Amino acid sequence: MFVKLLILIVYSLRKFADSEDTGFTYTGFRSANLSLDGLAELTSNGLLKLTNSSRLKTGHAFHPIPIRFKNTSTAWALSFSTTFVFAIVPEYSTLGGHGLAFAIAPKRSLLGGLPAPYIGLLNDTTNGNLTNHLFAVEFDTLLSREFEDINDNHVGININQMKSQVSKPAGYVGNGSLPQNLSLISGEPMQAWVEYSGPKKQINVSLAPINVPKPKIPLLSLSYDLTPIIGQTMYLGFSSATGSITSIHYVLGWSFRVNGVAEALEISRLPNLPRLGSKKRSEFLSIGLPVILPVSILAVILGAAYYVMIKKKFAEVLEDWELEYGPHRFKYKELYTATKGFKEKELLGTGGFGRVYRGVLPNSKNEIAVKKVSHESRHGMRAFIAEVVSMGRLSHRNLVPLLGYCRRKGELLLVYEYMPNGSLDKYLFDKPKSSLNWNQRFQVIKGVASALFYLHEEWEQVVVHRDIKASNVLLDSEWNARLGDFGLARLYDHGTDPQTTHVVGTLGYLAPEHIRKGKATTSSDVFAFGAFLLEVACGRRPIEPAAPNEDDLLVEWVFSWWSRGEILQAIDPKLGLNYVTKEANLVLKLGLLCSLLDPTSRPSMQQVVLYLDGSMVLPELSSLSLSTAGLIVGQSEGFDDFVGSLSSSGERRSAYCSSVANSILSGGR
């Protein structure tokens, strides 16, 4: 009898434990014991501050105790409910960077989560892995084409990957049943609700301003069984990140419950967001006003005269139509101060299209690179600035972020994020002080290829760079390649024909059809990328005046080694034998393939990325045979045209260089 009673008690306790609600409520975080990493911190007034003004950083905050999401009597994930109040305060009023997410994960840290579009959740390697066991609701403030984002102000449900299962623009349905838009980067607090029904396998997400009750109609609804995703016990919290543009992400309060409805937050008890600006009362002015008034009048007169002088010095060209570009417009005085008056000691480099200076913005202390170029444009200034602003919205890990511009008199100043390791060319040519190893070079090549694929096919418009070369590839603090210098880039809509323009670019990288017709296309970018591949692998420029006459054209020199079956002889001697033979073969042959005379025979950048990743096999060039005339027989992959354009005749080579030079000098169409 005693044993039966004991069994009954144990069974009752287990059943009670299985049905027991598990939850917590944070009305502010003044005394919270959260697990924090990255930029995340708790402020003195009780705010959870996930990020600050640091660029390309992450911040995580997790409830320190694991939550039990499955019990012993059921195999499926239990129902849960959470609500939280958050606010996103952007660096610029119309640009967010990059968003935050509520996350349920197996661990209370997301080590390895990258900033920018990954919002600190995942990285290139983990994105899409079934072993992640990650459930997240993202509040994303930047459009990332690589993850098929719908816009730069959306809410999405993510499971094991950054591509959302379902997403919608931020908003809610009010009492009048009319949809209301919300700006995630308004700087105002708003409340979110995330609910999952275990029996119904239904996920609902709602959003509303803090002065509006929970909407009856959720913003997002998704039928999805979280049982395979959520383990027996899981951790939950928030992840956030910044990009080239920053936002400060706050959480003001948070409530959660398993097997029940999360406790409602008392909005009046939540901590206040910091004021954007503070006003300090000056006792001296209050007490001494009668004394200082005459001095103030004199100071105003002198100040006005000084202001006229300064205004003339820092006069800018600003027309009414430019006001719509908002934060993309920098003040000339700000850039003048940042670069210490554009002093020579701040000069980073000089090119055919401008001088580049290093600078530090006076307010944010962020490092920038400022390029001064001519502001003439065949499209007209309005169209040119529109293109600059459009390219300022490009977002890819292998692009140098274009932050904005400034116009002054006869100058156009383009503002980029500063890359501390400088341009790639200084590690390749002219007996560099330090060189890159093969692995670094191969990663640089893959990075630039990924950036061009994004520009050509993944962004909302086609972007033709028109000036791909080693000196326009910059290296960030971690030696990642960043394709920069969009001063010559042109945009056009997918499916349309690019317009004819002047021939611009650099000798050795210009595609023959670009010189003849003046049309810059994605295929002419591929041709330039072919020259880039060869210069990175060989450590030589596409045209080397100091080389013997028969070896001055790099592509012809590499082709001659290939035709003799010794293509690896073209590898940069600075590498010695420290390179991966398979990768070196691939890069050199791909460089030849991209350099074909016929643009239709060149690969697309999508194919190039697949070749470099090993997902597609490069055509076997060694199977092609040579005729007695020096031309490749047959039409395989267009190499006959290629060899026809690269005769060993010095006369043909001279004619080629002369035609290119003449086309550029005459401003060919």
Q: 178 Cβ partners below 8 Å, 6+ apart? A: none
Please state, in angstroms and as integers, the Cα–Cα distance from residue 426 to each residue in 367, 470, 471, 497, 577, following that order: 21, 9, 8, 36, 22
Pairwise CA distance, residues 296 & 126, whole Å:
63
Cα three-residue angle 590-595-600, rounded to 5 degrees: 100
Pairwise CA distance, residues 526 & 597, whole Å:
11
Q: Which helix (H) or strand (E) holds 166?
A: strand 166-169
DSSP 2-29: HHHHHHHHHHHHHHHHHH--EEEEESSS
Q: 157 Cβ partners below 8 Å, 6+ apart? A: 136, 137, 164, 165, 166, 167, 203, 205, 220, 222, 224
Contact assessment for residue 483 and residue 446, using Cβ atoms and an 8 Å cutoff: no
Among 152, 467, 485, 552, the one annotated catalytic: 467
Return phi, psi of residue 229, to 5°. -85, -45
Q: 220-225 — which CB contacts under 8 Å span 24+ positions?
A: 220/155, 220/156, 220/157, 220/166, 220/167, 220/168, 221/166, 222/157, 222/165, 222/166, 224/157, 224/159, 224/165, 225/76, 225/77, 225/201
Beta bridge partners of 479: none
**Residue 467 annotated in active site:** yes
| The length of the chain, given as a count of residues | 669
Pairwise CA distance, residues 481 & 22, whole Å:
47
List the 402-408 sheet strands across, edge first: 347-351, 354-360, 367-374, 411-417, 402-408
- Three-state secondary structure call for residue 236: strand
- Three-state secondary structure call for residue 306: helix
Name the residue with tokens 């999952």. Answer: 196
Please state, in angstroms and as integers, the Cα–Cα distance from residue 241 to each residue in 98, 110, 245, 261, 416, following that order: 6, 12, 10, 29, 20
How many whole angstroms from its chain centre is CA 464?
18
Q: Which of 394, 397, 391 is nearest to 419 (CA)?
A: 397
Q: Which of 383, 278, 387, 371 is nearest to 330 (CA)?
A: 371
Q: Give the chain's largest Cα–Cα span.
A: 110
Return phi, psi of residue 646, to 5°. -125, 50
Positions marked active-site: 467
